[in-house]
Amino acid sequence: MTASSAGAGRPGESGTAKVRVGLVFGGRSTEHSVSCVSAASVLAAVDRDRYDVVAIGITQDGRWVLAADQPAALTSGSLPVVAGDLSQLVLAGDPTVTGLVSPGGGPGIPAVDVVFPLLHGPYGEDGTLQGLLELAGLPYVGSGVFASAAAMDKQHMKLVLAGHRLPVGPYEVVTPRQWEQDPRAVLRRLGERLSLPVFVKPARGGSSIGISKVTDAADLQEAVELARRYDPKVVVETMLAGREIECGVLEGPDGPQASLPSEIHLHPDHAFYDFEAKYLDEGTGFDIPAVLTAAETKAVQDMACAAFDALGCEGLARVDFFLGPDGLVVNEVNTMPGFTPASMFPRMWAASGVDYPTLVDRLLTSALNRRRGLR
């Protein structure tokens, strides 16, 4: 893979003015801290000769604030949070209002040229923030409203992928009404249609928060109740035997481009790739590139791009697979994958010849080109 960036007239070159970037992070989801660490990584890597950056934090209760443009301030503690005592800001969903305003009448922020919404999970990666940015007339990094919402909802993601003849594993959906009206009937249905072990997941969650691996039917009710703490709709999936393979996708001038795949190797203490294994456990291993045949690597890359197109993604995505005896199965599509130092997405692209600063520049350039009608 090359590190080329789509489009001409890159910011900061040939005397052009710097592009003003609004980096939005934090948010109301359970992935708040992951977003903060991702933002710190981007702040440290972005090319300051080309970009002026405005750090915009969203607190855990949804308050928008002007944060410090200092990576160290976003990584204090193992699980950092956006402080609530900073100057409050409001982004109006009105294209005639430029910039972010202060509700208290204080100084706001002048208009930004592009937004990098580095939020993970609900209220950021699920189409809600994307809808606000569309209303405000602001270009932004990443997928639009539909692709963001569909990819976040595991049920609808699987429906779209299956509709494009991409393989997904056996699963069942537990809606709020079904569970509230007759949980016993739901448990009976799950037992009849799915083989143990199963994974019980919040339908619209991320970073493996609220997920349980169930090997005994007696534990299924407790697992559903846990998942419902994070989302009233739950997806239950049959565990698939196979290797865990991931692949990064970037929007290119001629369509999506795939990175070299990676493979996750879990520490024996972890039953699955949970939050601790992803972000806190140094014992989790990985291979980049994954040890695959040339044909397997091409199959992963082709299917990752096909999933990207099927959902109508833009900018970037990470596609997760199981590679078993019967071939590839798509597990999930993440439209705003983690950007922490431990995250697989930037690591896969670094192994593919696109280093971190170039990756950030490419995403911002792609978003600006899309606004200009070049994509």
Residues with a catalytic annotation lie at 31, 207, 279, 318, 320, 332, 334, 338
Closest to 199 in 3D by CA, of 188, 209, 189: 209
Phi, psi dihedral angles at 165 (to 5 degrees): 60, 35
Long-range contacts of 185-193 (CB under 8 A, 24+ apart): 186/224, 187/217, 187/220, 187/221, 187/224, 190/220, 190/236, 191/217, 191/220
Distances (CA, A) of 303 to 54, 149, 265, 337, 349: 36, 20, 22, 18, 17
Half-sphere CA count of 375, side-chain side, radius 13 A = 28
Which of 273-306 are b and which e, b meaning 16 or more Cβ less than 10 Å from the residue's Cβ? bbbebbbeeeebebebebebeeebbebbbebbbb
Omega before 197 cis (within 30°)?
yes
List the one residue out of 187, 169, 81, 127 whose CA is nearest residue 313: 127
